[in-house]
A and B are shown apart, each in its own frame.
With several copies, the nearest count.
Chain A
């Protein structure tokens, strides 16, 4: 079981969600985060004083899935989230040992389906 985490541009969320659903993944969890990276933030004005907002709004997706689906989900994300511009984001893959569905208590891959 793996967790695929993707940091993407907020306005791509809808597309990515659809791309992931298209490869047969049922669930995912999304959070609003702020990113700091190569993409530079914007300036803001405050009564004639300028300052730079370094953290940019990003969206983090977390999907836990069985190992066989990792490849196709990663590909789907790369395709759907890419704009070719700096700041498109990152995908991280890490191991997950167990998943449990709270409602039923089921565990393992079946909890993800």
Chain B
């Protein structure tokens, strides 16, 4: 009883501390609220000078597709990814995974609204061909979504749709990382990590790649990343690796087998990821046109090839093809085709699919076992490695000479892709390390052994996944 109370007391204290930390983070932003409210009348006017100078007209078809794509990408995280990951853990931890995906969705949405969108996409101070601070990170011109009014337009769609679409990318990226530290990280640590990593890693990298003229990687270096190979997958994968190394192995790993507790969830989630990815990749055309169609087509092809190759490798190596292997292969293919989806042709897709399936197989098996870290659900093995394979092969197969859609010199482009990847790896690696260390020494990263044994569902959330 006393014990319970004390524990609870501690949790409350923790809870308060977490909130404080989150608020401290968001604090300065709140200052802007009053001002923003005051400015509300100018908002309509402000829109005129927004990201789209010539205020082009909305195309309802493009808008329809982007609205749909937004729904599809959110669907990838909840319920898609949460089912895929949730099925892979032991039943005592299933809710912790679902909860993390859900809470990350909510938290990132709030942060995106307050300042995230601005930090990622504000173009104030950017100039085509010029490197300056704003090539790396956006300003605060759009905090609290200032300027995002019903009439604001970007490209051929309402700005509100663009903001929402991009938000779903910002949600799924930290959600992918949880695969690395599943079954042992504190929930409070997950929230703080998400907030900090989103702020200091995701938003800047996103800005560097996608914010337009003057951005470091996308514009100055010409890195091709159609739908997020660098921004989403390499980024999440590297953070996952760092997290897996820092937090350490699960108790019992690798001697105790920890088979997936519910493979039907995992295969269901994989299917949802596949379907949702159509929004991710084809939506990245930001239009309902031939580019979107091609992106969908090559996504389908690469995914199929990766699933098949993983399945056959398992079949040859172990004598049996497994559902988990096939589903994992599909995800590897989806990851790898992501940066390439707007620029390669069907044949490039086949090669990227086969390559990523085979290489990620090694990543999730030999490499992991060889190096001995516990990347529980292979967030690095699939997203990190698959993202890298995709980013690099994009530099090759985007070339019109290989059925792609861009007139590039393969060698030059390959080097640019490599440069983009390395910068992302280094930046994300270092920052992720600092953030995780910081959390570790303050509130602590990992639950205690008793909690880990009991399972996070009961110990952190006082709920059981199943009472069947």
Q: Do chains A and B touch in the complex (CB under 8 A)?
A: yes
* Chain A 19-54: CB-based contact to B (< 8 A → 1; otherwise 0): 000000000000000000000101111111111110
The dominant DSSP class at the B interface is helix
Whole-angstrom distance between the alpha carbons of A12 and B459 in the complex? 19
Contact A14 B256, beta carbon cutoff 8 Å? yes
Q: With A11-B453, A14-B256, A42-B458 in contact, do A47 and B464 touch (Cβ < 8 Å)?
A: no
Contact A48 B462 (CB under 8 A): no
Question: Which residues of the partner chain A approach B325 to less than 8 Å between Cβ atoms?
Answer: 45, 47-48
Q: Determine the chain B residues whose CB is within 8 A of the CB of A51 once the complex forms.
A: 257, 259
- Please, how many angstroms separate the alpha-carbon atoms of A42 and B459 in the complex? 8
CB pair A43–B462 under 8 Å, yes or no, is yes
Chain B positions within 8 Å of A45 at CB level: 314, 318, 320, 322, 324-325, 461-463
| B interface footprint on A39-83 (CB within 8 Å = 1, 0 otherwise) | 010111111111111000000000000000000000000000000
| Interface size band for B | 20 to 34
- A47 lies within 8 A of B320 (CB): no
Q: B259 touches which one: A11, A44, A48 (CB < 8 A)? A: A44
Instruction: Provide the bound-state CA to CA distance between A40 and B5, in Å.
Output: 13
Min C-beta distance of B377 to chain A, whole Å: 9
Looking at the assembled complex, report how far the CB atom of A99 sits from the nearest CB atom of chain B, in whole angstroms.
26
Bound state CA distance, A44 and B318, in angstroms? Answer: 10
- A interface with B by C-beta (< 8 Å): 11, 14, 40, 42-53
Which B residues contact A (CB, under 8 angstroms)?
1, 4, 254, 256-260, 314, 317-318, 320, 322, 324-325, 328, 361, 364-366, 369, 378, 453-454, 458-459, 461-464
Of the A-B pairs whose beta carbons lie under 8 Å apart in the complex, a sample of 30, sorted by A's number, is A14-B256, A40-B1, A43-B4, A43-B462, A44-B259, A44-B458, A44-B462, A45-B314, A45-B318, A45-B320, A45-B324, A45-B462, A46-B257, A46-B259, A46-B324, A47-B324, A47-B325, A47-B365, A47-B378, A48-B314, A48-B318, A48-B364, A48-B366, A49-B254, A49-B365, A50-B462, A51-B257, A51-B259, A53-B259, A53-B464
